[in-house]
Structure 1
Amino acid sequence: MTNHKGGCLCGAITYNVAGPLRQIIACHCIQCRKTSGHYVAATQTATASLTISGAVTWYQSSDKARRGFCGTCGSPLFWQPGNRAVTSLFAGGLDGPTRLKIVKQIYTEAKGDYYALSHTETSDQDPCAG
């Protein structure tokens, strides 16, 4: 069985994923940029496969989704849509080698003007809206 561990910068929140992870999607939408300070590179798993230790602070960023972060160090960690039993994990919070790759970039038209993309793939569905 696939098993991945991760957590926040200060160690107050740790998590374990006992199941597969989706390949990475890089989202350049405004909300992901504001959440992370750049763009978000995230994988995803079934929420039932995720065990979290520590007190996550959840922010209901829209009627469609909420975002989870560490209230101590501020590390952004999770994104959950309200209508599906999945949790996106910010890839930078994963420990050790993941063997995951960025396979898609979305909302590239909203990217910051201070960086360039070598390749883009856009989508009209925002999995990060919220």
Structure 2
Amino acid sequence: MKQGSCLCGGVTFELTGELRPSVACHCIQCRKTSGHYVSATQVGPDQLNITKASTLAWFQSTPEAQRGFCNTCGSSLFWKHNADKGAVSVMSGTIDGATGIDTAKHIFTAFKGDYYDIADIMPQSEN
């Protein structure tokens, strides 16, 4: 089991089972919500237990997706696509301690910021 939280501790969660490798998303929405790009693992609905949700808020960022964040400290925590049958992307940096996962790929690289380079050898997709 892995544990995680937002910066202020208003949202805490537990993750069970195997975590998907992290995917780095460089789309404009991820850049706007995080201040850089986002790297997220993904779990099934039965693998995520939100243990404290006193400051958890959800934002409908597109007609198809929602983003979970802390409405006190602003931490970006979760991303859910309506068609994913309950799967939730969890921002890898919100997991406490070692995650045991690697970055598998980069997506939406056509939208990456001009202030950084993608220097690893992981696969890249422009969309």
Query: Structure 2 length as normaliser, TM-score?
Result: 0.91
The runs of 5 or more residues in structure 1 that have no matched partner are 125-130
Q: CA deviation at 1:123?
A: 5.4
Once residues 51 and 27 of structure 1 are traced to their aligned partners in structure 2, the CA distance between those partners, rounded to angstroms, is 24
Distance 1:97 1:75 in 2: 19
* Cα deviation, residue 44, structure 1: 0.3
Map of 1:127 onto structure 2: none
Deviations 1:8-39 (A, max 9, x none): 00011100012221001000011111111100
Query: Which structure 2 segments of 5+ residues have no match?
Result: none
What is aligned with 1:76? 76
Q: What is the total number of aligned residue pairs between the two structures?
A: 122
Runs of 4+ in 1 over 6 A off after TM superposition: none
- Equivalent pairs: percent with the same residue? 47
Residue 108 of structure 1: how far off its partner (Å): 0.9
2:14 corresponds to which residue? Answer: 16
Query: 1:80 & 1:123 partners in 2: Cα distance?
Result: 21
Aligned to 2:107: 106
Question: What RMSD over aligned residues (CA atoms) do the two structures have, in Å?
Answer: 1.1
Q: How does 1:1-130 map to 2 (within 5 A)?
A: 3-52=1-50, 53-55=52-54, 56-84=56-84, 85-118=86-119, 119=121, 120-122=123-125, 124=127
Q: TM-score, normalised by structure 1?
A: 0.89
